[in-house]
Amino acid sequence: MKDSNEGGRWRTWGPLLLAAMFLLFMLDLAYGSVKIPFGEVLRALFGRSENQGWNTIVQVFRLPKAITAILAGSALAASGLILQSIFRNPLAGPDSLGIGSGASIGVALLMLATGTSGTSLFGSLSVPGYAALVLAASLGSGVILAIILLLSRKFEHGVTLLIIGILVGYFAGSIVSLIVYFGSPQKVQQYLGWTYGSFSGVRMNELPVFAIAIACGLLLTLRSSKALNAFAVGENFALTLGIQVKRERTRLLAAAAILAGSVTAFCGPVAFLGIAAPQAARRLFRSSDHHVLLPATMLIGVLISLVADIISQMPQGGSILPINPLLALIGAPFILGMFIRGNGAAPRDAGGSP
């Protein structure tokens, strides 16, 4: 697993991707309804700009949003990588565990229960309203997580779990659509607003909570990246190498669910990233070693979410585009292009005897 080739790929792509990340981060701070000159952004970031308004805009509104985009991008990407490797399925993602659906039930129930009226999007929710939203989404995905983890100890095969995850997703989806069916148009509008996803709901003082939740998920993942390598090759293969399959799998599923669940709670169901980023990382770094793939996937996840966030600011009319449709709109053709160009080159597709 100590392959000089992979090290070489890191040396070329690593600095490039890091530089791109920094550039996109600055662009993200510069773009918005009020356009701030690129040179001034850095100064405004530290409150040194002549223009007090710019200081406030960058520090209070755009910085937390950009950090949220970075956290969400890396967490969803890592979560997707874990699930794709455990289930050995390139289509697995945070959604295949039903985590997003669980959060949806929580949010839909909250909308139904509270009489909160008003506009739909995150930004306009009151602070206690937003806290309740995060709580409801966390509870919803937490309940689904508990069910999946209990079942993962009971069932031997990953495929069975994948099917269960998808079934739970359908089940939760139908509950949500029933709630929406009987909800008042106003509440439905509010719920729909949540499903569009947004990075701008997290405020500076809430960021630490978000960051700690994600750090917990990542630490759990790092502890098991050795097992993850073997899982990605085969279940029996991992078993014969002395890996405690059920224990490691439960730990990794918990990590994936914490990562995806906390993002869903704070930003809404923005799951597409989780499927796209690992695919891109595998192809770019030509590696299957998770010690390489995990940081690479997270970095690419961050890039995708920053690009999406910048584009969502593009219209200068003061409104921002919803992040969830944007991600798939840009991401899907991008990944598709990669598949078409890399056709045959990827050993995963080669298989069989020559």
Partner 1 sequence: MKSIRHVPGVPERPAGQALPDGAYAGAGVGQASAAGDGKAGALPGEAAGTLLIAKDLATGWGKKKNKIILSKGISLQISGGRLSALVGPNGSGKSTLLRTLVGLQPRLGGEVLLQGKPVESLSAEERARNVACVFNERLDAGYFTVFDMVAFGRYPYTDTRNSLTGEDLAQVERAIAAVGMTAFSRRAFSGLSDGEKQKTQLARAIAQNAPILVLDEPTAFLDAPSRMEIFDLAGILAHEMGKAVVVCTHEVDLALRSADEMWVMDREHCFLSGTPAFVSFSGAIGRAFASSRARFDPASGTFRMDRRHPRSS
Q: Does 96 bind partner 1 (CB under 8 A)?
A: no
Other CB atoms within 10 A of residue 247 CB: 12
Cα–Cα distance, 354 to 351 (Å, whole number): 8
**Nearest-approach distance from CB 303 to partner 1, in angstroms:** 21
Q: Does 157 bind partner 1 (CB under 8 A)?
A: no
Sign, CA dihedral 156-173-228-209, equals: negative
**Nearest-approach distance from CB 280 to partner 1, in angstroms:** 14
**Nearest-approach distance from CB 348 to partner 1, in angstroms:** 5
DSSP conformation class of 124: G
Contacts of 244 (CB under 8 A, 6+ apart): none
Pick out residues in 210-249 that bind partner 1 (CB under 8 A). 223, 226, 229-230, 232-237, 239-244
In 3-state terms the chain splits into helix, strand, coil percentages (rounded to 5) of 75, 0, 25
| Sequence-ordered strand ranges (E) for the chain | none
Cα–Cα distance, 301 to 77 (Å, whole number): 5
Lay out the site mask for partner 1 across 246-285 (x = CB under 8 A, - = otherwise): ------------------------------------x---
- Closer residue to partner 1 (CB): 85 or 200: 85
**Nearest-approach distance from CB 273 to partner 1, in angstroms:** 21
- Closer residue to partner 1 (CB): 318 or 351: 351
The binder of partner 1 chosen from 3, 22, 23, 184 (CB under 8 A): 3
**Amino acid sitting at position 313:** Q
Q: Does 344 bind partner 1 (CB under 8 A)?
A: no
- Closer residue to partner 1 (CB): 59 or 89: 89
**Cβ proximity of 13 and 292 under 8 Å:** no
**Cβ proximity of 305 and 70 under 8 Å:** yes
Cα–Cα distance, 225 to 333 (Å, whole number): 30
Cα–Cα distance, 190 to 246 (Å, whole number): 40
- Closer residue to partner 1 (CB): 205 or 236: 236
The binder of partner 1 chosen from 289, 328, 330, 342 (CB under 8 A): 289
Q: Does 159 bind partner 1 (CB under 8 A)?
A: no
Cα–Cα distance, 165 to 144 (Å, whole number): 9
- Which residue's entry shows tokens 């499927």? 275
Q: Does 339 bind partner 1 (CB under 8 A)?
A: no
Q: Does 43 bind partner 1 (CB under 8 A)?
A: no
The binder of partner 1 chosen from 287, 297, 305, 313 (CB under 8 A): 287
- By CB under 8 A, the count of residues binding partner 1 is 33
Other CB atoms within 10 A of residue 128 CB: 9
306: exposed, middle or buried (Cβ count in 10 Å: 0-12, 13-18, 19+): buried
**Nearest-approach distance from CB 15 to partner 1, in angstroms:** 22
**Nearest-approach distance from CB 341 to partner 1, in angstroms:** 17
By CB under 8 A, name the binding residues for partner 1. 1-3, 88, 223, 226, 229-230, 232-237, 239-244, 282, 286-289, 291, 347-348, 350-354
